[in-house]
Amino acid sequence: MTGTPTAAQVLAQGVRQLGEAGIPDPARDGRRLMAHVLGIPATRLTLALAEPVTTEAAAAFQQAIAERARCRPVAQIVGWRRFWGREFIVSGDVLDPRPETETLIAAALTQPAGRVLDLGTGTGCILLSLLAEWPEATGLGTDISAAALEVARRNAEVLALGDRAKFAESDWAAAVQGRFDLIVSNPPYISEAEMARLDPDVREWEPECALTPGGDGLDAYRTFLPQLAGLLQPDGRVLVEIGAAQGAAVAALGRRAGFEQVEILGDLDGRDRVVVFSSPGD
């Protein structure tokens, strides 16, 4: 390029680089990265494309493109991901919030809860989304990763929920006391065999402990479901996210743990996504 390039010219070059690197939908990612570098919402990028780009902005965009070409997730490059209408800080220490997890949020919101427990909270996106929808509710998020808990605390502060959301280091519910109206979890559930088939964006950049427990992917449910009956209010519910082929197996684990009522919910694509447990027996 000669002279001062426009944002459109710099963007086009970046999109070509991403395409040559084999990145799916390079135009989408390039536009999001350009909007991030320019400090504007992605919805306003079209209005800025004809404007010249500073040397600093062009260099920052090129660096972002180079990182994306290495398959680093866009959310990690820009530092946030939108989930249930809010922006959540993300890093390499936490799972990137997924749209399919919104199925769990929608199901949870069908019945009010005053006190919420989120096991394996990660970014805190599940717990904090629920508390934001329920202004009187309080909640506790647990995680075995101190780094993940720090991300969750930062998100709570940014969303002005720090006074209602608490976080604690715990191996699932092992260190938890008290009773809760709702217990939620999006645990690692990818089987060891499936890990090799994941996109490199996920396999190489997101924390393995948040993706898979190894084996058949069900170890987290085997561990925490038996812990929950004593933590749940009599009319409370447990909602867990699952892999698309795990509905029957996770439902059976819940029944074995003493839950008498079990429901499997599908996501927008019709795949099993959430199992709901209620009415634990004595």
Nearest CA to 259 among 269, 243, 236? 236
Tell me the two tokens of residue 187.
């645990």
Kindly give the confidence (pLDDT) of every residue in the chain, 282 residues in length, as a single tens digit, with 9 standing for 90 and above.
Answer: 557 899 999 999 999 999 999 999 999 999 999 999 999 999 999 999 999 999 999 999 999 999 999 999 999 999 999 999 999 999 999 999 999 999 999 999 999 999 999 999 999 999 999 999 999 999 999 999 999 999 999 999 999 999 999 999 999 999 999 999 999 999 999 999 999 999 999 999 999 999 999 999 999 999 999 999 899 999 999 999 999 999 999 999 999 999 999 999 999 999 999 999 997 755
Name the token pair of 153: 């605390």
> Which among 61, 46, 76 is positioned nearest to 13, based on CA atoms?
61
pTM of the model: 0.95
Beta-carbon contacts of 58 under 8 Å, excluding residues fewer than 6 positions away, are 5, 10
Q: Is residue 113 a contact partner of residue 182, using CB atoms and an 8 Å limit?
A: yes
- Count of CA atoms in the C-beta half-sphere (13 A) of 153: 12
